[in-house]
Structure 1
Amino acid sequence: MRIQNEKAGSISLGKRLLGLSVAALTTMTAFLVAVPGAQAANSAGFEYKPEDGFVKGAIDTSKKPTLELTKYVTSSPNDGAPTGSISDAPSGKGTAANVNFILTEVKPKGGADPSTMKANDPQTYEEVVPSAKYSGTTDGLGKIVTGGTAPTGAVGVWRNVSNTSNTVEAAKTGSIAVFPGGQHWYLLTENPDTKPANHQISDNTIFGLPFGTRGKVVGDTGDYDNGYVYNLHIYPKNHSSGQLEKNATEIDRGTTGEFKKINGNEDKHVQIGDSVKYDITQNILNGDGAQGDGKLYRGKIKATGPQLKISDRLTSALQFGEATARISYVENGNTIVKPVTGFRVEGPDGNNPKRLADESQTMFVGPATSTDGTKYVSVIFDGNSWILPPTVPTEGVSNLQIIVTIKAKVVSANDSVGSTPGKLVNSASADFPDNKDNKDTTNPDNPNKPKPLDPPAKDELGAASFQVGKVDHSTNRPLAGAVFRLGKLDDPDQYLFSDGKFHKNGEPNLTATPIEAISDQNGVVSFVALPISDPNNAANIATNVQYTLKEYAAPQDHDLIPVGFKMVDFSQYAGQSWGAAMAAHPAGITPDLTKLNLGVYEATGANIKNADGVAVTKVIANWRGDEKGKPIGLPLTGGKGIILLLIVGLAIMGGVLVVRNRKNSSVSRSI
């Protein structure tokens, strides 16, 4: 059940709920605080899961309430979600890490009823003195929780703010907060300096903690009754400044052939062999709209010709499977979803799709044709039958969306896109013929200049990944085409294959393929989605994940590096759940590359950056075939190889000395 925002005619929650005061439900971008319990059976009350800590009766002042915040991002201007129960968490929405929130205890001004407080009207409330203020920054799962033993510097937990205006710093170094018992009211605000890029900030809100309402716990056969939620869950959202949204919604772990819905961000991780379903959602506004506003309106969709193109860019790690489409809208308060078949698919191929507004421009930044394994697939909707009756009523509908589902499989560990490691990134873009300015002030002779496309909608899945650079030894020039593999620590002739096991080349009946990554034109080698999950429990990371990095094929005109580099080490995550690892490492799951010893092959002064403009810290140099002073290919990290070489070397030296001594003795005797 959802409380409407004020524009839709909100009512006083103080009159509806015991001890509950919520305000600031004011704009389409608002973070909606709502009655807990989306699973309500009827208007008599709401059903809560045990995790919500709902207890019937008067407030228990001895109980310390908790607050768990999860930050979501969405493209829909009407997309709000009920708040209060863990059951109300939205599905199929991306989360945002490193977003800072401030929680301030407040009270109504002049002793008024708490229901009069409005979060966007400071005249209705005031801070409690002495001030109780808390700060939290979302972790890698988009969460801020209460309590625990998080070390100083860790985010994802509410901390006390003391004598500082720097709430971002307080969210890392403040003491861990414990919320007091009894009824208290809090103002929640989002730090505008940390909001997700290309999204609007979520609105302020005020709520009670604990959260007063009427309900019962699931399984309780008794009546609904007044009580309190002591473990409150809230879900603020940032709405995209564009109309396009992309989210992974289902994953097949590759063992059962069955797709399962992603159940929380703890499930948002993949490795080679997994398959993913991505939902790309394009919002369509009612009416005709204004020329040049960059938004798709229903009235702009014509009867003939291509009217909407949704394109997906697939890194070389992903293999396209199929595309389906459905349309969703709200009518009489009910969400209606219908399949759509009136579309065609172009690709997958290496051709960067052309825009509908101007075919001289492409849908993605980059070359017109990809040569690095990146593939593009486009879903094109011709005419307007797919938004007309009987598919969609002409009047009385809202929140109209076309949703394209792309199914893809992780078939390679080579990431041709070269994004910052730690995640598998997939991007989508959309365009329509009328996406043009009505006036080009820089060129009056061209009144129909295409508007720049909105930034691509991205989805990021947790994936074990890392990058190294590849350059020429003498010039530090980036080198493309070098092939790298991952070897077994104690036997570098065994390589990691797509089945997550080590094999030698040429093993009989081997269907798995070797895991390889290839340096791109920028000299970046990008491994992604490495198979580090526990083979007996895909929710956890294996306990022994260490590799030798080995150049398998040299770049053109350069010598192959004859030694392996130790080591690529994921031991810091050993035995952890994926959820815990991703929460503690918002930037992604990457190895400790300080342990990767490149020896004489480590380049100095090289300036290699990935596709996001982030410097690659470990860079490997190759010598040209005709270059003098090339290093001898001795192993770099000890072990059997160096020991055997030392033994052989000592034996040779010893033999030479014996022969020399015998010769000297013979000469002495003959004198």
Structure 2
Amino acid sequence: MRELLLELSAKGKAGLKIVLPIVIAAVLFLVVVPTTHADPSSTIVPGPSDTYAPEDQFVPDYETNKPSVAKLTLTKILNDLQGKKASGSNKDITTVDTPGVGVTFYLTRVTPKPSLEPSAMQPSNPNTFQRLETYVGTTDTNGFIRNPSSPFPQGNGYWRGSSADGSLTGGIMNFPASNGSGGSNYYLLEEDTSSRNPYTNPSNSLFDPTYAAAEPEIFDLPHQTLNSTSSKDSVTGEIKPAQIRGSVYHLHLFPKNVISNDLIKTAKKVVDSDNIPRDSLYAQTGDTVSWEVKYRMYNDKSIDLGNRKLDLAEINQFVNDPANTGPFIVMADRLPSSLQMMQESQQFTLQWQLADGTIESRDLTTMVKYRDHIADNGGKPAGVGDNVSRDVIGPGVGSGNLLPTVSGTSCPDPANGNPQICGNLWTWGLDRQAGSYIIDQLKDQLKDQPKDQPNDKVAVNIWLSWTYNTKLTSSYGDLNANKPGLLINNVAAETIDSRKSGSGAFRANASLSSPGLQFVKTDKPESGSDPKGLAGAIFRLTKTSGDQTSYLYSNGRFYLDNSPDIPSGVKPVEAMSNQQGIVTFVGIPIVGIDQNNPSGPQKVIQTGFALKEYKAPEKFQIPTQAFTTVDFSAYSGLPVTSLARSRGGNGITADVSRLAFNSYETPGMRRVDGSYVFKNAQNEGITKGLENLPKNEWGGNLPLTGGRGILLILIAGAIIMLIGLLYRRHRRKKAFISELTDEN
């Protein structure tokens, strides 16, 4: 304004007389016309719809008494959304997000290079900023890094200083609220992508080949922003919406891992048996688990079949050829046998996200073909293991032969016909009808951009989404023998593009915490031979002492078989040995309401069970004793949130070292060279085995050498021998007395 007036003055008073009234009018307009921003005469009225929560410590610019320090809380979550900024509010957190555990972040204070403004700093261009001091933090079991309450915090989860040699110093309790010149400090946040990151290290149990680190980000602290809230006029008392400019003094960051894979599966939520949503991804028998499978499509204009990218142009070409009578995409989902598909819950949608952030969706449920259970007993998810080279879309596409049958396998209970026990494989596909609808909905995306529409209307993410619910049942366990303590769900996808690549199907899995136990049911091995697994044995859980004739049921209570007290729909908690003899319990109900605090949150209230063989494999004996202890005492008293977030990738597993099979313990579970005879689906060795002995040819039982049976036989034999000795001694004494009598 000042420069404008000087320029006008230099040109003469005549010009000033013409323009000055216009300038004054503009200034008066800006002063008089009301804005949506609150002012000191208004009071903020916080509400649930505010942009920021009280924990964010939002302070309006008009406040004169501002904090002198700022705080930063980082929450690392494993998310299936891409391109979201890390900075946000504490309101953005949801407890069902899976936390990133043990991930290190570097926080470096930065300033713009000379002649550059702060807005010109780009995290991907080191020439736009210069680095100053660096802070370091590693996420704890909840995914948090926070300012500690003391200068010497213990464990992970806190911001710490670092010296020039990279060694860590004390905890950083606060960050300065000013850069010394009245402005905010700027920080560069970077995720450690070295072998120290558990998700990128192949030797770590959390390793995920599809994981991609969070993108670097530069932000200010305190964070200058607008808060959508309400304000109350101090004179009139009127409350109305307001946009208030200010700063967040406790910034909450949620750096997300960037999606690098086209097929993604996630567990979305869990609802308990009372239809109450759990606040974490934890499930036990009776719970309902919601899943989502997403497949990414691309809006590239060129057709390049075989590059493993399903493009809209390729779908458009497919639907315009009448000879194509089959699907252009098929998905196959192998559910663990512990999950019951709730078919009516399945929903299929087309989703796309525009560059301006808008998300659009269309329902495809009625267009899906081949949505059914496939009686494939291969024991592996499609596209996994032995099935890698097998096309999910079979050669007879037109006849609907989506999944060729796998030979040489059988269902543990062929007469049952229950999908849970016979593969539990579910598939669906989309054909030309659905393809035509998709192209029609996204036809503008096939045009050249940005000539035909603004850049912010370009679809940056296009997905096919499949959502469904499953019930975690108490029968069978996991016949796929996945890692115990986790409920693991596998999916594969094949498209007209991936088939041309020759690299096999896309594969993905999702998991959540679920209390489990895993061991192997075996025969008695011959000396020098490996034990062999026995299929079809059924195990139940009972009490560790006292009455062991009642069994644990899905509601966490114990009942006798066929008791009239068993509620409707409540089933015994069981696990069956699969074809390899592996027994995997899933969803053992250890969480419930604490009767000493019935209004409090659910937590672990049952920590110990005894294991009992309920049904032996055909032609084998059944041990009569119960084995102790199936021990979960390490989790005693923990709330559900801790169970879900403290798993560290290892699941909620019973301590098998506390489970004593005694003389029934299978020897030779590990060979001389250190290799394991039995391995689970994740190729981890199984150390625990329980022997069964065969019945004799007359149908009776052979003596259990080494078991309690032999002890009884030994005792009986000792008694008989003792009686014999006493009788012999009595006979000898009687004979001696008789001889003395005869001599006299």
TM above 0.5 = yes
Q: Distance in 2 between matches of 1:406 and 1:433?
A: 25
- Give, in angstroms, the shift of residue 116 of structure 1: 3.5
Would you tell me which structure has more helix in proportion to its own residues? 2
Q: Which amino acid aligns with 2:425?
A: Y
Matched with 2:495 is: 432
Matched with 2:220 is: 208
Matched with 1:591 is: 654
Q: Distance in 1 between matches of 2:248 and 2:90?
A: 11
For 1:183-206, what per-residue CA distance to the aligned partner results, in whole angstroms no more than 9, with x for missing partners? 443322222233442133322122
Is the aligned partner of 1:137 residue 2:135? no
Matched with 1:371 is: 411
Q: Distance in 2 between matches of 1:219 and 1:654?
A: 98
For 1:301-334, what per-residue CA distance to the aligned partner results, in whole angstroms no more than 9, with x for missing partners? 2224312212211111011112221222246843
Q: Distance in 1 between matches of 2:405 and 2:652?
A: 27
Q: Distance in 2 between matches of 1:658 and 1:390?
A: 97
Matched with 1:282 is: 295
Question: Residues 369-518 of structure 1 correspond to what in structure 2 (within 5 A)?
Answer: 371=411, 373=421, 374-385=423-434, 388=437, 392-396=441-445, 398=459, 399-412=461-474, 414-437=477-500, 450-454=502-506, 456-474=507-525, 475-481=529-535, 482-490=537-545, 491-508=547-564, 510=566, 511=568, 512-518=570-576
For 1:584-618, what per-residue CA distance to the aligned partner results, in whole angstroms no more than 9, with x for missing partners? 23222122233222223333431222110112233
Q: Distance in 2 between matches of 1:311 and 1:244?
A: 12
- Give, in angstroms, the shift of residue 284 of structure 1: 1.7
Q: Distance in 2 between matches of 1:436 and 1:190?
A: 36
Q: Distance in 2 between matches of 1:204 and 1:364?
A: 45
Question: Residues 41-120 of structure 1 correspond to what in structure 2 (within 5 A)?
Answer: 47-56=51-60, 57=63, 60=66, 62-74=68-80, 79-81=83-85, 83-89=87-93, 95-110=99-114, 113-120=117-124
Q: Which amino acid aligns with 1:567?
A: T
Change (3 A) 1:368 1:99: farther
| Cα contact 2:631–2:655 (8 A) shared by 1 | yes
State the structure with more CA Rg.
Answer: 2
Q: Which amino acid aligns with 2:292?
A: D
Matched with 2:363 is: 339
Q: Which amino acid aligns with 1:252?
A: V
Among 624, 631, 636, the alignment partner of 1:562 is 624
Q: Which amino acid aligns with 2:218?
A: I
| Cα contact 2:159–2:172 (8 A) shared by 1 | yes
Q: Which amino acid aligns with 1:136?
A: T
Tell me the TM-score normalised to structure 2 length.
0.69
Q: Distance in 2 between matches of 1:401 and 1:267?
A: 26
| Cα contact 1:558–1:623 (8 A) shared by 2 | yes
Q: Distance in 1 between matches of 2:92 and 2:405?
A: 38
Q: Which amino acid aligns with 1:295?
A: K
Question: Residues 8-23 of structure 1 correspond to what in structure 2 (within 5 A)?
Answer: none
Question: Residues 520-559 of structure 1 correspond to what in structure 2 (within 5 A)?
Answer: 520-535=578-593, 540-559=602-621
| Cα contact 2:106–2:135 (8 A) shared by 1 | yes
| Cα contact 2:293–2:466 (8 A) shared by 1 | yes
- Give, in angstroms, the shift of residue 429 of structure 1: 1.6
Change (3 A) 1:540 1:509: closer
For 1:422-464, what per-residue CA distance to the aligned partner results, in whole angstroms no more than 9, with x for missing partners? 2111122211223234xxxxxxxxxxx633222x222212211
| Cα contact 2:148–2:172 (8 A) shared by 1 | yes
- Give, in angstroms, the shift of residue 378 of structure 1: 0.9
Is the aligned partner of 1:312 residue 2:338? no
Question: Residues 614-625 of structure 1 correspond to what in structure 2 (within 5 A)?
Answer: 614-625=684-695
Q: Distance in 2 between matches of 1:153 and 1:554?
A: 50
Unaligned runs of 5+ residues in structure 2 are 1-46, 179-184, 201-207, 233-238, 320-324, 383-389, 413-420, 446-457, 670-675, 697-701
| Cα contact 1:522–1:609 (8 A) shared by 2 | no
CA RMSD after TM alignment: 4.2
Moved more, 216-225 or 536-545: 216-225
For 1:554-573, what per-residue CA distance to the aligned partner results, in whole angstroms no more than 9, with x for missing partners? 33444323322211121222
SS at match of 2:520: strand
Change (3 A) 1:611 1:330: closer
Question: Residues 291-310 of structure 1 correspond to what in structure 2 (within 5 A)?
Answer: 291-301=305-315, 302-303=318-319, 304-310=325-331
Matched with 2:6 is: none
SS at match of 1:237: coil
Q: Distance in 2 between matches of 1:567 and 1:505?
A: 22
- Give, in angstroms, the shift of residue 395 of structure 1: 0.2
For 1:616-636, what per-residue CA distance to the aligned partner results, in whole angstroms no more than 9, with x for missing partners? 23333334446887222289x
- Give, in angstroms, the shift of residue 236 of structure 1: 2.0
Matched with 2:22 is: none
Q: Distance in 2 between matches of 1:113 and 1:468?
A: 63
- Give, in angstroms, the shift of residue 233 of structure 1: 2.0
SS at match of 2:127: helix
Q: Which amino acid aligns with 1:115?
A: S
Q: Distance in 2 between matches of 1:327 and 1:55?
A: 41
Tell me the TM-score normalised to structure 1 length.
0.76
Question: Residues 97-246 of structure 1 correspond to what in structure 2 (within 5 A)?
Answer: 97-110=101-114, 113-128=117-132, 131-137=133-139, 139=141, 141-147=142-148, 155-161=156-162, 177-183=172-178, 184-192=185-193, 193=195, 194=197, 195=200, 196-215=208-227, 224-246=243-265
Matched with 1:348 is: 373
SS at match of 2:705: coil
| Cα contact 2:95–2:641 (8 A) shared by 1 | no
Q: Distance in 2 between matches of 1:342 and 1:150?
A: 60
Moved more, 467-476 or 91-100: 91-100
SS at match of 1:594: helix
Unaligned runs of 5+ residues in structure 1 are 1-38, 438-448, 636-641
Is the aligned partner of 1:630 residue 2:705? yes
Q: Identical aligned pairs, as a percentage?
A: 24
SS at match of 1:329: strand
Moved more, 553-562 or 322-331: 553-562
- Give, in angstroms, the shift of residue 421 of structure 1: 1.6
Q: Which amino acid aligns with 2:373?
A: P
Change (3 A) 1:356 1:307: farther
| Cα contact 2:72–2:253 (8 A) shared by 1 | no
Q: Distance in 2 between matches of 1:160 and 1:572?
A: 34
Q: Which amino acid aligns with 1:616?
A: I
- Give, in angstroms, the shift of residue 160 of structure 1: 5.0
Q: Distance in 1 between matches of 2:624 and 2:66?
A: 70
Change (3 A) 1:605 1:365: farther
Q: Distance in 1 between matches of 2:150 and 2:606?
A: 26
Q: Distance in 1 between matches of 2:149 and 2:619?
A: 56
